[in-house]
Each structure stands twice: as structure tokens, then as C-alpha cells.
Chains A and B, each alone.
Chain A
């Protein structure tokens, strides 16, 4: 009896050990976020849906970068170039030449009565003429029915000028950079042009918005902390037609990796270390020289 008891106890102990180890090993790591660090350049919801493109995700904290910015063919949005990077509790996005509604206004047929008014503007006092309320044709964009009164112009000559010399886009942004590190981040916004007019940017601080207009509600630097400890910052959110289409541009989420990647014993092949055999002595640490040299600043 005693003989049989010892192996049984040992087996039980081993099984208990394995079970305990399995439970401990499968338990979630203390402060790791449920979502990984990630970054994307463009996403849109509404009439023209666009998935997060391109999306960089770092599950293990290792830096992941993508510049594969190929948007599905759409009449709404184009971006010339962009890079999304996600890493260990850090992420960033850079976008260049974002255009909403490219070449859309050149397709607008000007109503004949307006054309007539524009052709016969008086030499003086034209600036005081009211803007006629004429419905604009469908732009093919997710916008409500628009009239000439909704356009950001002050007077009739301005309106004529806008329609006769249509700008290249509804909205254009020359650069947008967003980054986060831990639970903070920032937005760097280049020039923004709405219907050919450069907008004055009040701020890129958290929760800022661009001057209101009937075409688009644009919010800058939206930030949010998630319950799992991760943090998201979105550079620009463009709301067209009162929610008919919402475009998010440059969004970065920072989170701690699920587990730290194991250090690699071999050096990275892209960063060649000098050969170990037959190497000359180590190069000396430089002694700074006090002098003046004009450099590019």
C-alpha cells in the first residue's frame, strides 16, 4: 500500500504543478493593454466607407511601419503619401497632400440665372449685392442639399469668382503629423484650404475645431484614454453632412506591449557590427574642439 502511495503522491504533485504553471503562464500580464499600439492614416464611415488604411500594429512592442497607402477608388478622398508607425507604447502617422472632394467643383453646372447675374455685375456697388439662394446641383458627395448661401463667400462677386474659377478641391491639407508616446501626444498641421481659401487655424491643441462652415465640421486633436490604459489621438475628424460621412485622418494609439520581446543574441543584419576577428583597435572617443563652424542650423 505504502509502495503504491509514493508514486501516486508524486504524480498528483506533478499534475498540480503543471496545472498551476499553466494557470500562471496563461494569466494576463499585469499592465499590458488589451489593444496593441497601432496607427493608421485614413478611415471613413458613412456613405463612402474606407477601412483603416494603411494600418500599422505592434503586438510585441517591436516597431512596425507601413507606407502602403492605397485607398479604394472613391470620389471623396485622396492622399499623396503617408506613413503609419506603431511601437512600444508609441505610435505616429505622417500624411502629405490630403484632398477631400478632388476636382469636384469643376463639375458643377452653374445655374443659368446665376450665370446671367455674374455676367452683368455692375461696375460699382457689386459687393453690396446679396447672394442669391440658388440650389446647387448634387456634388456626388455625402453632403446635404446645398444652396449658394451655404458656400463660404461674402458677396455676389465672390460667389461668381468661386463658381467660374472653381478651386481644385473642397478641402485640402498639405501635411498632417500625429504622434503619441505613453498617454500623451500631439498634432502638427500644415496649411488647410477650404474651397480654395486658406483657413486660419486657431489651434492644434486637444479638442480644437476649425472655423464652422456648413460644408464640414472639422475637429482637431481628439484624444481619449481607454479603460485598458491605452491612449488614442486622432489628428483630424471631418464630419460631412451632419454625420453622413465621418473621415478620420491620422490616428495613433499607444499601448504597452503584451510581453516584452526577447532580446536577440545576434545583431540586426541592417546594423552591421564590425567583424569580431582581426579587428583594429577601438576608435577613440573624440575630444571636443572649441571653435566656430557655421552649420545649417
Chain B
């Protein structure tokens, strides 16, 4: 009997040990990222540069429209299960909404607002609010036009002022980072900062060279390559663009 009991307890013990190992691996594996010390990481904002951020590999592609908002400050990783290189806060200008450009199990890759242009980072797919933007903004720097699409259908196309030859509007995909009213700009206070920066101006007007969509009092600029990188649009275009959710993809090409 004893022999029988002892014989039967050995496999049971082995199973328990195995379960214990699996549990330990799970706990430690899971804790790997939970234990990241966020205070040591640089926050990705329009004012910061994180040179180690992986760059967007498909800068002219569309996305599914998925946008995410971190409910708490979160670490940014260079790849799923790889090292953290920065962090993202819950708000930039209003709540932070970032477009998802790639997904794997438990992870999403997002575009970032920090320099250099086309920076991306991976976020763990937890503590994220998910939403879908049905909009798409396209900026064409050669034809100097801006187009707005809703569910793939054009809502309008307008002539826009784009970056001059020496201060171009950077090509690639970026996103609507914020919607602000800046009363220091009395003539055109509505400004929609993007996640991109001037490729030629490190600073501009005391800021980090953030590229934005905004209005302009003189209509002659629409259709001209004239700005320091920003996209100047007519009033009617701006009224439509103000309704576009944050995180919405902005595709800038040289067409």
C-alpha cells in the first residue's frame, strides 16, 4: 500500500514542481516589464528627442484606423519583450492618442511625437483605451493640397501652403497630436500640432520645430511652398479638420 501510495505521489509531485516552475516563469516573465523604472526613462513628447526609438518601416502606408490612449504613464519598448527606451504620458495637448501601425499578441506599435521624425515604439496592450478613427488626412507637398477622408470617402480637398524648399514639410506618416487655441497667434489661433518636426530647423520661435496644421490670414499662401514646415490651410478646411479625432493618421507625400 505504502509502496503504491509512494509510487503514485512521485508523479503528482513532479506535476506540482512543473506547475511551480511554470508559475514562477510566468510571474517573473510578467514582472519583467512591470518592474521598469519609469522615472529613469525619457518621456516622448513633441519637445524631446529619443534617438534610440525604432523608426517607422512603412512611412507611406495606411493603417486600420486603430488609435490608443495610455490610461497611465507607460514604457515604450524597442520591440515586443525587448528593452524599454522611453515612456509615454497620458496627455500631450489634451489626452495622448497614438495611431497603431503594427500589432502582435499583447503588443501594439505606435507612432510617437518625439524627434526624430518617424519614431515608433511598442506598448504593452494593457491599460490602453482603444478607439477607431475613420478619418485620414493626406498632405501632398508637390500639388500643395490637403485632403480629408472619412471611411475612405473624400470630405474635401483644399489648396494648402506647405514648407518652402529649404524648410520642407517632412514626408512620411504622422498623426494629429493635439488641438489647441493659441491666442498668441491672433490671426490664426487654431493650431493642430502633428507628431512631426521640421527636418531642417532644430528650433523655431522658441519651440522644437513642431509641424502643425493651422490657418493663415492671407489666402495667397494656399497652394504655395512657402512655410517653415507647417501646413497652412483655408478656414473651411480647418473647420473640418478640427472635428478629426486625435491620433488620426496624417500621410504626407511629395505627390
Contacts and interface: CB of A to CB of B under 8 A. Distances in A.
B138 interface: yes
In which size bucket is the chain B interface?
Answer: 35 or more
B62 A294 contact: no
B152 A273 contact: yes
A266 to B, nearest CB: 8
Contacts of A286: 94, 176, 178-179, 242, 244-246
B181 interface: yes
Contacts of B46: 293
Contact of A283 (B93, B142, B246, B255): B246
Contact of B152 (A271, A282, A297): A271
Nearest to A287: B94
A140 interface: no
Of the candidates A94, A267, A295, the one having the most CB atoms from chain B within 10 angstroms of its own CB is A295
Interface string B144-186: 0000010111000001000100010000000010111111100
Interface string B211-225: 110100000000110
Interface stretch (B10-18, B72-80, B82-90, B128-136): B128-136
B190 interface: yes
Nearest to B249: A272
B213 to A, nearest CB: 9
Contact of B62 (A65, A270, A295): A270
B228 interface: yes
Nearest to B91: A289
Interface string B236-255: 00000011111110000001
Contacts of B207: 293-295
Given A83-B143, A272-B62, A289 B228 contact: no
B201 interface: yes
A297 B191 CA distance: 10
A282 B132 CA distance: 5
Contacts of B229: 296-297
B123 interface: no
A267 B190 CA distance: 30
A266 B151 CA distance: 10
A3 interface: no
B246 A291 contact: no
Interface stretch (B23-31, B34-42, B63-71, B114-122): B63-71
Contacts of B209: 296
A92 B140 CA distance: 14
Contact of B183 (A272, A290, A294): A290
A294 B131 CA distance: 29
B5 to A, nearest CB: 52
B136 to A, nearest CB: 5
Nearest to A174: B165
Given A271-B149, A273-B151, A286-B246, A297 B132 contact: no
Nearest to A275: B64
B152 A295 contact: no
A7 interface: no
B249 to A, nearest CB: 9
Contact of B131 (A177, A188, A282, A288): A282
Contact of A296 (B132, B152, B230): B230
| CB-based closest 4 A-B pairs | A267-B152, A294-B207, A274-B65, A283-B245
Given A293-B46, A295-B204, A295-B207, 13 more contacts: A188-B223, A267-B151, A268-B152, A272-B64, A273-B152, A283-B131, A288-B242, A292-B182, A293-B178, A296-B167, A296-B201, A296-B228, A297-B230
